[in-house]
Amino acid sequence: MSNTKKIAFVFPGQGSQYPGMGLDIYENYTSAKEIFEKFDEISGKSISKLCFSGSDEDLKQTVNSQPAILAVSLALYEILNEKVHITPDYVAGHSLGEYSALYAAGVVELDELIKLVLKRAELMNNAPNGAMTAILGLDEDKIAELIEQCSSEGIICAANYNTQIQTVISGEAKAILKANELAKTMGAKRVIPLAVSGAFHSPLMKPISENFAKYINNTNVNDSEIPVVTNVDAKPTIDKAEFSSKMLKQMYSSVYWKQSITYMVQQGVDTFIEIGPGKVLSGMIKKIAPEVNVLNICDKESLENVIKEEFNKCLM
């Protein structure tokens, strides 16, 4: 393990949204306002209004939550970048959050990124029927055993390896329903069915990804300026050709989040800064690697806190 102290920026995905997000930075920072205005212009609808005054139900819809979370994350990132001028050693994002990471690493320019995520959100909103469940309290081996025992009921897989004992499973409804019951008998502490529009990060998403491919192929993708630790393999990526294939694969593959954080810690990262609405990833990282510093930038107050005080402490 490297002894050099390193920093990683991480960006959240769906589930981190909340009503009113981004309003305080929009009202106080020109760079944030410009990001929201660009989202409104390209989407042809008011993403900013959705963030600032949309209902919880509106924001839960995949077609809305993805561009809304992206807008807030990029607005916060732009302010931080403007005020602090720090280049992280790695960037990563959880599912949708990987698109924020791609922007931070210079892989896709803003206009094209917005168009790409709008299409991704639209396609995923109309995903084939399926189900997802968060399972707490079972380790990776137990999850593998659970999936094997339920696979006779239909397609089922691990969608998100979030922490050592929190995994999201995804697949056909009948198989997930069986897994929900079986998980309890195997010692799961909590079994939480998720309100989603499809079986994300499962083989059921392959037809959607094939549709998405033409949009990726029409997007200008660059080599990254900063290594992006990608969801599909928890490995650092800089080559533009790899990004195109991994964006496609990400839709139907597991998110190796726990493994991504572990990799970065092994490379010497001792400070993670979550940039985006909510504190979901911060909580996960504290469970995966309790020894590291975890900072969170989700609104004006937390942003200014990091800029003025906490960030300087971590660099001392």
> Which of 201, 209, 224, 253 is flagged as catalytic?
201
pLDDT at position 310: 55
pLDDT band at 314 (very low <50, low <70, confident <90, very high): low
CA distance 170 to 255: 11
State the alpha helices, DSSP H only, in the chain: 23-28, 30-43, 47-53, 56-60, 62-84, 97-104, 110-125, 140-150, 173-185, 206-217, 240-250, 257-266, 280-288, 300-305, 311-315
**Closest by alpha carbon to 14, among 76, 120, 97, 113?**
97
The pair of three-digit structure tokens given for residue 64, joined into one six-digit string: 């809305």
pLDDT at position 86: 85
Residue with tokens 């707490």: 136
Which range (61-75, 118-132, 265-279) has the least confidence? Answer: 118-132
Cut 0.75: pTM above it: yes
pLDDT at 3 over 50: no
Residue 188 DSSP label: -
Average pLDDT over residues 220-228: 97
Average pLDDT over residues 105-116: 98
* CATH match of 131-198 with 3.40.50.720: no
What ranges do the domains of the chain cover? 6-126+204-315, 131-198
pLDDT per position as a tens digit, 282-308? 999 999 999 999 999 999 999 999 988
Side chain identity at 41, as an amino acid letter?
E
Mean pLDDT computed over every residue of the chain: 94
Strand partners, 228: 91, 237
Tell me phi and psi for residue 176, to 5 degrees: -65, -40
pLDDT at position 37: 97
The pair of three-digit structure tokens given for residue 157, joined into one six-digit string: 């897989």
pLDDT at 311 over 60: no
CA distance 117 to 234: 21
pLDDT per position as a tens digit, 154-184? 999 999 999 999 999 999 999 999 999 999 9
Q: Which comes out higher in pLDDT, residue 181 or 3?
A: 181
Q: Is 224 exposed, middle or buried (0-12, 13-18, 19+ CB in 10 A)?
A: buried
> Which of 43, 48, 73, 95 is flagged as catalytic?
95
CATH architecture of 6-126+204-315: 3-Layer(aba) Sandwich (3.40)
pLDDT band at 196 (very low <50, low <70, confident <90, very high): confident
Query: 85 an active-site residue?
Result: no
Query: 95 an active-site residue?
Result: yes
The answer to whether 71 and 36 are in contact (CB under 8 A) is yes
The answer to whether 272 and 294 are in contact (CB under 8 A) is yes
pLDDT at position 120: 96
